[in-house]
Amino acid sequence: MFDAWEIDLHGHEVVYRIAGEGPPVVLIHGMVNASRHWAAVAERLAERHLVIAPDLIGHGDSATPRGDYSLGAHAAVIRDLLSALGIERATMVGHSLGGGVAMVYFWQFPERVERLALVSSGGLGDEVSPLLRSAALPGASALISLATHRRVTGTLDRAGIALRERGSWVGGQLQAIARALRPLESAGQREAFVQTLRAVIDRHGQRVSATDRLYLLRDMPTLIAWGERDRTIPVEHGVAAHRAVPGSRFVTIPGAAHFPHLERPDALAAVLEDFIASTEPARYDEAMLEALLRGRSAARPRSAA
């Protein structure tokens, strides 16, 4: 069972789901998703692993405080949750926004990461769907409030089903939009969504990129998995990241778009199981990180103006 628990962290309720026993695996969801969306993947991984999936602050059933919704803030909450649970090191798996959170978690706490798996991840290029760029614009909050009415999401879902039955890929996109809008019915979650979105996306696209520091993953077992039909974040981002990280593994999930853990959970779980089973956990420490940084960033005197 992928049971839900809650814990008080710094005065805010954080909900997480946990299952299984064995080496820890942490599943980090994307924007307007929640821990429950990992259920099918988690139940399979839990046959050999202890699986923990948090609801990020402002998402799912966790608190929606007025505060910091940056990638670093989300990563720090996950660190605090795992510390409270007595988990020192884990394989980190992140989808979309969660991929960005997982990467920042590694930059901040490299000694706590054994492997890194990025699933249709954000933070690896500028391009992102026009819908997300539009949602980051000033004044979008009012439109989001109207769009999350149940009549609107119900209409989108029904239209998506009809189009999928006709064989159109647009149907799946409409259903994904409806699924994304439903959790935003409360004012607190809408505000948290907008703050999280604007921390990483503006009208030009993704405004936060990890591409300048992927070299730090040189000795980190890294998996990059992408839905082959992803139109939210281009698969080319994953290909480029794979080329930038020596020894990384790149796979596409057939038949999946931006949500492989929902659209093809068995296929994604199998990829994750194979990745974990065929790699040794990394053991980064401060000295390793220092060597990587010194090797790439030579200090030099600054010339006078």
Strand 113-119 to 205-206 pairing: unpaired
Q: Which amino acid makes up residue 202?
A: D
Higher pLDDT, 213 or 38: 38
Mark out the alpha helices in the chain (DSSP H runs).
Answer: 39-45, 71-84, 97-108, 130-135, 140-147, 150-165, 169-181, 187-200, 235-244, 260-263, 265-277, 286-296
236 belongs to a structural domain = yes
The pLDDT value recorded for residue 124 is: 86
**Residues known to be catalytic:** 96, 230, 258
195 belongs to a structural domain = no
pLDDT single digits (tens) 57-116:
988 889 888 888 888 999 999 999 999 999 999 999 999 999 999 999 999 999 999 999
190 belongs to a structural domain = no
Q: Which whole-number Å values give the CA distances from 121 to 72, 80, 96, 288, in the listed order?
A: 16, 23, 4, 25
pTM of the predicted model, to two decimals? 0.82
- 252: CATH: 3.40.50.1820
62 belongs to a structural domain = yes
Number of domains the chain contains: 1
* Packing angle, helices 71-84 and 97-108, rounded to 10: 70
Token digits for 219? 């000795």
Give the domain range for residue 275.
Answer: 3-127+207-292
303 has pLDDT over 80: no
As a whole number of Å, the end-to-end CA separation of the chain is 64
pLDDT single digits (tens) 191-225:
677 667 666 766 766 777 888 889 999 899 999 99
